[in-house]
Amino acid sequence: MKFTKFGKALAIGALSAAIVFGVTSCVESYTVGFLYVTGTVTVSTGSNGIVSGFKIDHNTGRLTPINTLPVASGGANPVRAVLTLGSRFLYVLNRGVTASGSANCYGTGANSCLNSNITQFAVGGNGALTPQETFFTQGINPFRMIADASGSFIFVLDHDAPDNASPSSTDNCALALGKSVTTCGDITVFKIDQSTGRLSLVENQQVTAVSSGSPITYFPVPANPVDFVLSGGELLTLAGAPNPTGYPYTGGTLVSPYSFSSGSGQLTLSQNSSQSLFIQQGTAIVQAGGVIYVLDNEPITIKPGTATAFLPGTYPSQLLPFTVGAGGALNAETGGAVPDDLNLSNPIEVLLENKGKFLYVANQGNNVIGPNSNSGIAGYFLTNVPAFNLSFITGEPFGSGSGPQCIVEDPSNQFIYEANQYDSTVTGRVVDPNSGILNDLRVVDTYKLEGPATWCLVDGRTS
């Protein structure tokens, strides 16, 4: 068959258009990363945990379940997860349940957690998770887990040190924290094998056990810890809450700094010891953009005439921003405490978006199942950088599911997701890069989970 010059031109043009269209379609539709969510299979607290996973579409933010997931988390009641070593390995902290099967565990008696563990997973290029090994913390009731920036160490915060089962004035809590101390929490430190991801216990070279004469296998921290965070060479614990009668733990009042050795993993109590924050209901301590935020679920009043971007009134909760000084001491930012949104309560997590212009705070609201008017995302505009100044973003608060447990930004810095405990969902939003407003995704923005969410994280490695 012969083509005229005009026919050849049309054919070549059509072929070129098809190629361009095909290439464009592929570019716009690729998976930019994975979102993982830990949670329980059903609302029954004794059920085994799971890890759900989703592919994040680069163009729309749409979530598509990863093949082979969800997968069993390796134990009951998973509450935290971390990715390390270039996202080759994922570790899940399974808090465990009581002897009666309740996830509401605390203390050292019948209500304490049993069968707690850390389960290691290998992460495949398609986002699939393959269980590897299981490791165990040294204390009782573990509930927080973080990794250092280099992927060399993992830290687990245990609410109760082993000594708490039979406290005395001569136990290891007293040796580490002072003669008058009879009970304490602890941090279990693991070194990560850079090839296999296997965890090995880091012993405390500063405290010799009373009974054995050998180094103890954990690092005591003040009693009744609520949360902890790693900031450079300092690890900070938020503690001071009264003896809990349930979980989650709240009521943080003071911060204790520990210097962290990036070579050995050793934690050494700072000479500054514990620093009172003059609050009573601290819920979390987090880092965002070099600033430490202590989240406090108690009212703050802005008086008329105060030099601030916030309207006068009483707000239900607040953020206390600090920089970390010498010896881990917290230095309050110039503007002081920042009010949470007037319609929200119980702040639990902070996210500074990638460009450093907008700050978002996830508020869990009242601890109830079902619709929750106090749940949502507060949004702040960060101005006068490097001087610290926050003001509310127009249109906030932004909607979420009921009882968000976490808030993350996708690897392409376009979308924000939070996972919710009380309605078992993941909610997605697209970030307006100019205003910071969180808009609904152009596709489905709420995704059902198989059970209540407890934590979430993102992985940008897709091959």
Q: Residue 206's domain is classified under what CATH number? A: 2.130.10.10
The closest alpha carbon to 270, from 330, 215, 312, belongs to: 330
Q: State the Cα–Cα distance between residues 215 and 192, nearest whole angstrom.
A: 20
Q: What is the pLDDT of residue 40?
A: 84
Question: Tokens standing for 113?
Answer: 């957690």
Q: What is the pLDDT of residues 49-86, one digit of tens each?
A: 999 999 999 999 999 999 999 999 999 999 999 999 99
Interval 230-234 mean pLDDT: 93
Confidence of residue 13 (pLDDT cuts 50, 70, 90): very low
Question: Any bridge partners for residue 82, and if so which?
Answer: 91
Q: Is the pLDDT of residue 14 over 60?
A: no
Q: What is the pLDDT of residue 46?
A: 53
Mean pLDDT over 442-457 rounds to 92
DSSP 21-86: HHHHHHHHH-EEEEEEEEEESSS-TTSEEEEEEEEEETTT--EEEPTT-SEEEEEESEEEEEEETT
Cα 297 to Cα 356: distance, rounded to the nearest angstrom: 25
Long-range contacts of 377-381 (CB under 8 A, 24+ apart): 377/404, 377/407, 377/416, 377/418, 377/429, 377/438, 378/340, 378/341, 378/344, 378/347, 379/436, 379/437, 379/438, 380/338, 381/357, 381/436
Position 360 in a domain: yes
Read off the pLDDT band of 18 (50, 70, 90). Answer: very low
Band of residue 387 on the pLDDT scale cut at 50, 70, 90: low
Cα distance between residue 294 and residue 227, in whole Å: 10
Give the pLDDT of residue 204.
97
Q: Does residue 74 lie in a domain region?
A: yes
Q: How confident is the model at residue 362 (pLDDT cuts 50, 70, 90)?
A: very high
Look at residue 449 and tell me if it is in a domain. yes
Write down the pLDDT at residue 21.
38
pLDDT for 276-310, tens place per residue? 999 999 999 999 988 999 999 999 999 998 878 89
Total tally of structural domains belonging to the chain: 1
Percent of the chain at pLDDT > 90 equals 72
- How many Å apart are CA 169 and CA 172, to the nearest integer? 9
- Residue 23: inside a domain, yes or no? no
Instruction: Look at residue 6 and tell me if it is in a domain.
Output: no
pLDDT band at 354 (very low <50, low <70, confident <90, very high): very high
Question: Which range in 199-208, 387-396, 443-452 is most confidently predicted, on average pLDDT?
Answer: 199-208
| Residue 47 pLDDT | 66
Whether residue 24 has pLDDT greater than 60 = no
Residue 425 domain-assigned (yes or no): yes
Answer yes or no: is pLDDT of 45 > 60.
no
What per-residue confidence (pLDDT) applies to 9?
43
- How far is residue 376's CA from residue 343's CA, in Å, rounded to a whole number? 9
Q: Tokens 């078992």 correspond to what residue?
A: 424
Round to whole Å and give the CA distance between 280 and 239.
10
List the Cα angle 73/77/78 in 5-degree steps.
Answer: 50
**What is the structure's pLDDT at 393?**
97
Q: Please report, rounded to a whole number, the percentage of residues in the chain having pLDDT higher than 70.
A: 90
Q: Is residue 173 part of a domain?
A: yes
Q: Is residue 299 part of a domain?
A: yes
Q: Which residue has the higher pLDDT, 69 or 1?
A: 69
Average pLDDT over the chain, rounded to whole?
Answer: 89
Domain containing 263 equals 32-459
Cross-strand bridge partners of residue 218: none
pLDDT exceeds cutoff 70 at 8: no
372 pLDDT higher than 60: no
pLDDT at 132 over 80: yes
Note the pLDDT of residue 42: 56
Residue 151 has pLDDT above 90, yes or no: yes
Q: Which of 172-181, 239-248, 448-457 has the highest average model confidence (pLDDT)? A: 448-457
- 380 pLDDT exceeds 80? yes
- Residue 19 phi/psi, 5-degree rounding, is -65, -50
